[in-house]
Amino acid sequence: MSQAETKPRMNPQQPNSSLEKTFHLGKPGTGELVPSRYALRIGEIDVLVVSDGVLPLPTKMLGHNADAADRAAWLDDMFLPPDAYDWALNVVVVRSDEQTILIDAGLGLDPDLNLPRAGQLIKRLEAAGIDLASVTDVVLTHLHMDHIGGLLIDGVKDSLRPDLRIHVAAAEIKFWEAPDFSHVSMPPGFPDALRAAAKQFSKEYRGQLRLFDEEYEVAPG
C-alpha cells in the first residue's frame, strides 16, 4: 500500500468528511453496544474495518502445546477467562482508485456450527453502504472457515460481480487438497467443518482464483 504518512484513526461517530463520502459509517445498529465498524485513511487509500462478530473458543486451543498450568497462569495475567474466550473476527474493506477490495470474508452462517454471534459481515457491509456487486477483489489470508465462510452464504455468489478476482496463495490451495490437522487441537466438529468449507470454496470459486507464490500486488501502492 502507500508509503505516505499514516493519518490518525477517526472515531466512527465523528468521521472525516472524505471517509463519510466513501463509507456510510452511520451509528451502531440495534443491539450494538459499540460501533461494529471504523474507518481510517492511509495515504490515498480508504480503509474500513468491519466486525464479523465473535467466535467463542475453548482456551485450550490457545497455545495447545503449552503446559496447562503455564497457559492458565498466562490467561490469568491477561485477565482472560480460564475456560473459553471470545475471538474477535474482523474484515477489512479497502478502496484504492477504482478498486474495492475485501480482505477476508468472515465466518458465514453455517447452522451446524451454532455460532449466532458471528457471521455478521454481509449485513454490516450493507449497513456501511457497501454493495457486494461493487467489490472488485477479495484477498484471502488463508482458507479457514472464519475467513471464507461469508462467500459461502446462500445468495452471496450471485450478488458478486462475475469478474471478481480472488487472490490467495498457491500454497494455501495446495494445503487444503489434503489438510493435516495432526498437530493441532480443536473442538469436535471443527476439523470436518474446516475441510468442508475449504472444499466448497475451491469448487464454487475456482474460476475466480488468482494464485500467487510470494510477492504480489493487488492494487497500486
Q: Which residues are CB-contacts of 168 (< 8 A; sequence separation ≥ 6)?
A: 139, 140, 143, 209, 210, 211, 212
The predicted model gives 29-34 an average pLDDT of 61
Least confident of 14-23, 39-48, 96-105: 14-23
pLDDT of residue 9: 44
Q: How confident is the model at residue 22 (pLDDT cuts 50, 70, 90)?
A: low
Q: Do β-strands 209-212 and 165-169 pair in parallel, antiparallel, or remain unpaired?
A: parallel
Of the pLDDT bands very low, low, confident and very high (cuts 50, 70, 90), residue 21 is: low
Q: How far apart are CA 62 and CA 84, in angstroms?
A: 10
For strands 137-139 and 84-96, give the pairing: unpaired
Nearest in space to 134 (alpha carbons), one of 163, 169, 92, 91? 163
Taking a C-beta distance cutoff of 8 angstroms, is the pair 80, 58 a contact?
A: no
Rounded CA gap, 19 and 48, in Å? 9
Closest CA to 36 of 110, 161, 126: 126
Query: Which CATH number does the domain housing residue 21 bear?
Result: 3.60.15.10
% of the chain exceeding 90 in pLDDT: 64
Domain annotation covers residue 150: yes
Residue 4 within any structural domain of the chain: no
Determine, yes or no, domain membership for 221. no
Question: Could you tell me which of 178, 190, 197, 196 has the C-alpha nearest to residue 108?
Answer: 197
Q: How confident is the model at residue 27 (pLDDT cuts 50, 70, 90)?
A: low
User: Looking at residue 17, what is its pLDDT?
Assistant: 46
Structurally, the chain folds into a number of domains equal to: 1
Under the banding of pLDDT at 50, 70 and 90, the label for residue 220 is confident
* Strand duo 45-58 + 209-212: pairing: unpaired
The C-alpha torsion from 107 through 109 and 112 to 117, rounded to 10°, is 70
Q: Which DSSP letter does residue 184 get?
A: -
pLDDT at 212: 96
pLDDT given for residue 12 in this prediction: 42
Q: Maximum Cα–Cα distance for the chain, whole Å?
A: 52
> What average pLDDT is seen over the chain?
86
Q: Grid cell 474460476 — which residue?
A: 207
Q: What percent of the chain has pLDDT over 70?
A: 84
Q: 24 in a domain, yes or no?
A: yes
Phi and psi torsions of 134, nearest 5°: -85, -10
96 assigned to some structural domain: yes
Residue 8 has pLDDT above 80, yes or no: no
- C-alpha cell of residue 22: 466513501
Residue 8 maps to a domain: no
Most confident of 52-66, 156-170, 173-187: 156-170
Residue 5 lies in a domain: no
Question: In the prediction, which pLDDT does 32 show?
Answer: 64
- 141 with 101: CB under 8 angstroms? no
Give residue-wise pLDDT tens across range 75-103: 999 999 999 989 999 999 999 999 999 99
d(CA 34, CA 37): 9
pLDDT of the residue at 65:
82
Domain interval for residue 44: 17-212
pLDDT at 147 over 70: yes
pLDDT at residue 33, rounded to an integer = 64
